[in-house]
């Protein structure tokens, strides 16, 4: 695969991620029934929701990813302190939302300098998994670094085996899509995760889409593997409700990497916060370059 294809799929992943965040945020914490009653099928980036967002505004999912990506770009290498410092700066910027586990971990680092907490059963939210795309992009041909960096950034806030397994698996799936365009390899990664922790099994799909990493991954994989376009994947995912901005973002990341940036509907890209789009274009190019150091 040429470098041009890699960039096209990497851009698809990062812009697809932000589209899913902005699209899903409108219906975050709603049930499918409530969504249906309010919106019929929710399919446009219109803002609102419990955060009362502007149309096109993104939330913590995209903002934390950008904070992580910027730390890698600024140092042209891995600097876990810089990652944690960027999370602190972000926390103190009065963001629209922040998960409890993320808040607890970032405050612990800010107040004590500790870069990770002890393993906890209640750290099994999706907050570490949701922000890992920049690590994938910066380590496309370095599986050893991918693993170390992913786990280090995760453990700033989430130290839990289910969170770790999901973060690594979704990261590997995106990597296969970007570098090989290979769906068989994706299915193998998904099967390996389910063999290790069978609670991730999404067949039959039970329709839970909460921020618990198991529910999040089931939803994302179910809709990714059972739809055939970027648009249908995202619409199906966010209309499941629950943690819809995060499931939407992660589904958008996978579908964007699979179908490429051209398949992202123009009406979504045009609505997305223009400053965020510029930042994502710049970061994607810079992170891919880091890969080839």
Which residue number places its CB atom closest to Mn ion? 59
CB of 112 to Mn ion, least distance (A): 26
Helix, strand, coil proportions of the chain in percent (round to 5)?
70, 0, 30
| Binding status of residue 219 toward Mn ion by CB under 5 A | no
Among candidate residues 154, 182, 186, the one with its CA nearest the CA of residue 167: 154
CB of 213 to Mn ion, least distance (A): 12
| Binding status of residue 164 toward Mn ion by CB under 5 A | no
Q: Which residue is associated with the tokens 């096109």?
A: 56
CB of 89 to Mn ion, least distance (A): 18
| Binding status of residue 61 toward Mn ion by CB under 5 A | yes
Taking CB under 5 A as the binding criterion, the range among 5-13, 163-171, 184-192, 244-252 that sits at the site for Mn ion is: 244-252
| Binding status of residue 60 toward Mn ion by CB under 5 A | yes
Residues 246-275 that bind Mn ion (CB under 5 A): 246
- Sign (positive or negative) of CA dihedral 179, 180, 184, 188: negative
The Cα 12–Cα 262 span in angstroms is: 8
CB of 243 to Mn ion, least distance (A): 4
Q: How many CB atoms lie within 10 A of CB 141?
A: 10
For Mn ion, give the closer residue by CB, 70 or 126: 126
Quickly count helices (H) and strands (E) in the chain.
14, 0
Q: Which of 26, 57, 59, 290 binds Mn ion (CB under 5 A)?
A: 59
Q: Are residues 219 and 209 in contact, defined by beta-carbon separation less than 8 angstroms?
A: yes
Binding site for Mn ion (CB under 5 A): 59-61, 243, 245-246
């Amino acid at each position: 695969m040429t470098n041009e294809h890699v960039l096209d799929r990497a851009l698809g992943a990062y812009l697809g991620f932000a589209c899913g965040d902005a699209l899903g945020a409108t219906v975050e914490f709603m049930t499918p029934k409530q969504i249906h009653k309010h919106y019929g099928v929710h399919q446009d980036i219109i803002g609102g929701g419990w955060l009362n967002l502007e149309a096109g505004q993104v939330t913590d999912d995209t903002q934390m990813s950008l904070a992580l990506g910027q730390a890698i770009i600024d140092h042209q290498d891995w600097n876990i302190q810089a990652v944690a410092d960027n999370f602190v700066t972000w926390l103190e910027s009065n963001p629209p939302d922040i998960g409890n586990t993320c808040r607890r971990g970032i405050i612990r680092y800010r107040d004590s300098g500790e870069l990770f907490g002890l393993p906890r059963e209640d750290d099994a939210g999706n907050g570490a998994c949701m922000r890992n795309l920049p690590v994938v992009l910066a380590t496309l041909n370095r599986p050893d670094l991918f693993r170390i960096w992913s786990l280090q950034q995760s453990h700033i806030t989430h130290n839990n085996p289910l969170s770790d397994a999901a973060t690594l698996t979704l990261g590997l799936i995106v990597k296969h899509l970007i570098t090989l365009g290979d769906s068989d390899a994706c299915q193998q990664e998904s099967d390996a995760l389910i063999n290790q922790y069978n609670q991730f099994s999404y067949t039959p799909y039970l329709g839970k889409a909460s921020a618990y990493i198991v529910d999040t991954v089931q939803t994302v994989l179910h809709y990714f593997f059972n739809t055939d376009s970027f648009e249908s994947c995202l619409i199906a995912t966010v209309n499941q409700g629950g943690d819809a901005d995060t499931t939407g973002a992660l589904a958008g990341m996978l579908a964007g990497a699979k179908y490429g940036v051209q398949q992202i509907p123009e009406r979504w890209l045009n609505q997305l916060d223009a400053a965020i789009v510029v930042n994502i274009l710049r970061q994607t190019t810079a992170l891919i370059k880091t890969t080839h150091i």
